[in-house]
Structure 1
Amino acid sequence: MGGQSPSDVSLALSYLDTAFNPHNIYFVWDHQIDYIDDDSEFYSPGASVFDINNHPDGVDIYMYDDSVGFLGWDGYGTSSQPKTAFLVSGFMEDPVTLQTYPLVKSHILSHEMGHVLSLWHTHHGTGENTQQDPYECPEFADGSNSAICGDYITDTPADPDMNYKVDFATCQWLESGFDGNGDPDDPNDPGDPYDPDEHNIMGHSVVPCMSYLTPKQGNRMKVAMTIIPALTAVSNYTLSGYPCATAGLNFYPNAMDGELNLDLREKPANTYPYQIFDAYGVMVLSGESQNVLKTIDTSGLDEGLYFLHFYDNGQLTIKQLLVEH
């Protein structure tokens, strides 16, 4: 679409790792960037872009320029039929300092991925009526109906829709109101039971405050990946989990200058293939190692961003590398 460099894309995807890896959900980038030469799509982001370069075997992320609007839009159908594509564009501005935050390189990306993996907004049923969920209903401030209303997740507090009215510096929600029971919603009252989580990625908070997903949000996503056809088609997750090939994989230094030490001495006896790709997806080095300390000569690599592809019994792990001379 234009406006995002390969290093920007890599930085953006690192937010997904931060948000989802703690829940044992991992993403593998195929290192393919399809640029879309279409001015109408560039200046007017919308769902029509999901029909361009769409792939049935993965989640397609459409990254617009940081200057184009303020938008995160997933290809969401219903809670039982999510679509595996979303777009992010534009920036968010702090009204006090006027500092801008590009949305592509933030947890807005994680927010939209959460929708793809079957998460509702934390204010679902309370501060919005989606017309997509026949069971939606407001969650009470005391959380007494959190299992059957709101976002249906009991470890996310009731949220009336913060609507981005959150202080960028303190991460405090700045609004107030009443819930469905008539209970007061006063952020200045420490005894007020209505306390939306300004740090939850699935809320309408501000970029510098969004930082995590809860354990039960993680559980919902993992269950969704085992039962929803659109997600089972792009995931190898099962309810018993899947092995993380990162265990026993150590490498240093990073940044590197001349050599990379691949330390596999904590891994079982086996042969482990590896490849190194540059930021444009071109393979620049490859080889294999036993479970030993392997030194890889990287002196021929230019400065910049690279990616280590490491294979353990067919399981691929991708790690970011940096070369500095």
Structure 2
Amino acid sequence: MKRNTTQFLLNSFFLLITISLSAQNAVESECGTISTPESQQYWKNTKPTIKKLEKEFFKMINSGSRVSIVNSVPIKAHIIRKTDGTGGLSESELNAAMANMNAFYANAFMEFFLCDGINYIDDDNYYDFQKSEEVALTSANNVNGLINIYFTDYVESNTGNSLCGYAYYPGGDDVILMANNCAINGSTLPHEVGHFFSLRHTHGPSNTVLTTELVNGSNCDTDGDEICDTPADPQLSYSNVDASCVYIGAITDSNGDTFVPDPNNIMSYSRKECRTLFSSEQYARIYATYRSVRNYFSCTTLNVDFSADVTEDCDSNLTINFTDNSVGATSWQWDIDSDNTIDYTTQNPSHNFSTGIYDVTLTVSDGTNIITKTYFEYIKVGTQKVTPIEEDFEGFDLANKDGWVAKDINGNGYNWMVTNGKTPSSGTGPEVDNTTGTGSGSYIYTEASGSNPGDVAEYTSPCINISSSNAELEFAYHMFGANTGELHMDIITDSGVIMDVIPAIVGQQQTSQADSYLKQKVDLSTYVGQTVKIRFRAIRGASWDGDIAIDDMRIYANLLSTDKNVLNAIEIYPNPVVSNKVLNIKSHPSSNNISYEITNIVGQKVLKGALTEKQINVNKLTSGAYFLILKHEGIKTIKKFIIQ
């Protein structure tokens, strides 16, 4: 319900009498952001991609590269005033709040700027805002393609609680509501924007139930805020954080360990004046969310964007012509080779690239504002591989790696991703990878949830030189789900694209998630002496339950050659290994270019080397099940053994 001003005035007398008690036991305005079943499912579906991009963030930080990159994100500020035009957040207060927010978000390589000035809304009803009025307010005022932030005098939940503000998690509306006094307190606006970019409260999804995250950190990736460098939080408040920003509570977790939360974290419910920092992993999550599911914002009067006439080529040198597609720009600064140095200040430069993979950054200005955009790994030159090739994707943390390119053709979120274990959606996709047969092995897949029927996702290899007259390609695939779409394979040559070099694989091919991968072979002898690219093309089916996975893409001389027999002839004994913990090799060929790896049951590599003897010493390994992975000239075989 709306605030009752008369009742408020009558109550003020009693509040003055008890002001000292109120100062000690203040009931602070709450955060109204809610974790709904829909937002939780969206997070589950997108978490694999976001986790991979978090790794990219830390690689950037640790290597010192790209540290000057900033991406500009447009905001539409809606300031609500009384019907007579009085009240409301002042422009200077808005500018100060945005400057404060940018100081926080710079560490996530982001900055926010105001698009097209301020939209003033003069309406007493919205000045005293109730959450049930949101649809009417936003439908009349929202600007598509921007983060719409509404600033008003008072925000109330549907249950009558005073709110400092609220936002929507990814998958929800591009809307944030802020109470004016909270917008300028230094921590609540960054807090709500944190929710917008996937950050949870440090005390977890519930404001009424004690977090299940353990103090020892053993479940930090799945419970609480699902971030591991923020300590478990029993829900901080003004009552258990003192004026010196020290936690004074004594609550214990289910193990009996006493919580040691961080009262300074922005995403906590600590005293607002104490909240001064995001953790490193929180910054990584913000960055990863912006790069993946919150990357579609643009201002219609000042926007930065660009394209190139070609972005990749198999030759070792390539001249590329860039086209500025920005709106409202009057000056341009280009860093086209990832060295943090301005290379060109013309609008549409050309540049000759040598072999490598490059980020491209464009900064533009309209004379007042400066905004920036970076396309990561945008240019790929001379990324050529020579057969034999074996790609098991085990070293991949992103689908776009080592010259491979994943592309969402329709822009609806249907794309190739890297994951391990089951895909996020139940009842579709594989349980394990094909390489190791474990939940920790990596594979590439398309996530059907959240996209549209008929959407297309392409996954294109780097340039491959076909050097053998009997070259053959083999890949493993898994297609389980009632609404599985289609998997196509194309060959890209200098002369053009040869579509569907094999018949399309259509519909569900496995009967359960636990079924083994199937294998597909492709004759490449026609392309001997040529440099080609392999393109996997997935078409999304009618609904969400249609994840398509591929793994172990290999190209080498005909798979029936004696190279395969070399590995097939190898036997291992004893199995299980009992006494001296030595694994014996039977029928060991004389070839000296066989390598091996030993992984445990969850796919962790524990031993590796060259198979030059007839024994492998496994004395340092503990009891359990293991996999011996043998590799020879692009061929691989896996043998399971047990140590007792």
For normalisation by structure 1, the TM-score amounts to: 0.61
Q: How does 1:45-84 map to 2 (within 5 A)?
A: 45-46=130-131, 48=134, 49-65=137-153, 71-76=163-168, 81-84=171-174
Cα shift at 1:90: 5.1
Aligned to 1:310: 370
- Check the 8 A contact 2:241/2:263 in 1, yes or no: no
| CA spacing shift, 1:312–1:73, aligned 2, 3 Å | closer
3-state DSSP of counterpart to 1:160: coil
Task: Write the distance in 1 (CA, Å) between the matches of 2:206 and 2:240.
Answer: 18
Cα shift at 1:167: 4.5
Task: Write the distance in 2 (CA, Å) between the matches of 1:44 and 1:311.
Answer: 33
Out of 79, 85, 91, the position equivalent to 1:6 is: 91
Task: Write the distance in 1 (CA, Å) between the matches of 2:99 and 2:364.
Answer: 24
| CA spacing shift, 1:31–1:172, aligned 2, 3 Å | farther
Cα shift at 1:28: 2.0
Task: Write the distance in 2 (CA, Å) between the matches of 1:170 and 1:71.
Answer: 25
Give deviations 1:6-46, integer Å, cap 9, x for gaps.
11110111121121111212212215211122212211342
Task: Write the distance in 2 (CA, Å) between the matches of 1:21 and 1:54.
Answer: 26
- Check the 8 A contact 2:153/2:179 in 1, yes or no: yes
Out of 11, 21, 25, the position equivalent to 2:106 is: 21
Aligned to 2:243: 169
3-state DSSP of counterpart to 1:44: strand
- Check the 8 A contact 1:75/1:85 in 2, yes or no: yes
- Residue type matched to 1:172 in 2? V
3-state DSSP of counterpart to 2:192: helix
Aligned to 2:216: 142
Cα RMSD, aligned residues only: 3.4
- Check the 8 A contact 1:70/1:90 in 2, yes or no: no
Out of 266, 282, 298, the position equivalent to 1:201 is: 266
Cα shift at 1:144: 1.5
5+ residue gaps, structure 2, are 1-79, 82-87, 299-303, 306-332, 334-340, 347-362, 376-644
3-state DSSP of counterpart to 1:19: helix
Q: Which has the larger radius of gyration?
A: 2
Aligned to 2:345: 270
- Check the 8 A contact 1:23/1:215 in 2, yes or no: no
Task: Write the distance in 1 (CA, Å) between the matches of 2:374 and 2:251.
Answer: 53
Aligned to 1:132: none
Task: Write the distance in 1 (CA, Å) between the matches of 2:171 and 2:155.
Answer: 31
Give deviations 1:157-182, integer Å, cap 9, x for gaps.
10011134354631112333221223
Out of 192, 216, 222, the position equivalent to 1:112 is: 192
- Residue type matched to 1:146 in 2? C
Aligned to 2:177: 87
3-state DSSP of counterpart to 1:177: coil
- Residue type matched to 2:190 in 1? S
Aligned to 2:14: none
- Is 2:303 aligned against 1:223? no
Cα shift at 1:105: 4.2
3-state DSSP of counterpart to 2:111: coil
- Residue type matched to 1:89 in 2? A
Q: How does 1:243-262 map to 2 (within 5 A)?
A: none
Aligned to 2:202: 122
- Check the 8 A contact 1:11/1:105 in 2, yes or no: no
Out of 131, 144, 154, the position equivalent to 2:228 is: 154
Task: Write the distance in 2 (CA, Å) between the matches of 1:145 and 1:151.
Answer: 10
Aligned to 2:129: 44
- Residue type matched to 2:251 in 1? G
Task: Write the distance in 1 (CA, Å) between the matches of 2:370 and 2:170.
Answer: 34
3-state DSSP of counterpart to 2:110: coil
Cα shift at 1:223: 2.0
- Check the 8 A contact 2:211/2:234 in 1, yes or no: no
- Check the 8 A contact 1:127/1:160 in 2, yes or no: no
5+ residue gaps, structure 1, are 92-101, 130-135, 186-193, 238-247, 249-265, 276-285, 287-307, 316-325
Task: Write the distance in 2 (CA, Å) between the matches of 1:145 and 1:273.
Answer: 44
For normalisation by structure 2, the TM-score amounts to: 0.32
Q: How many residues align?
A: 229
Aligned to 2:297: 234
- Residue type matched to 2:171 in 1? Q
Task: Calculate percent identity across the aligned residue pairs.
Answer: 26
| CA spacing shift, 1:62–1:219, aligned 2, 3 Å | same
- Residue type matched to 1:38 in 2? D
Task: Write the distance in 1 (CA, Å) between the matches of 2:373 and 2:201.
Answer: 37
Q: Which has the higher contact order (CA 8 A, sep 6+)?
A: 1
Task: Write the distance in 2 (CA, Å) between the matches of 1:220 and 1:32.
Answer: 29
Task: Write the distance in 2 (CA, Å) between the matches of 1:157 and 1:127.
Answer: 17
- Check the 8 A contact 2:155/2:165 in 1, yes or no: no
Cα shift at 1:51: 3.5
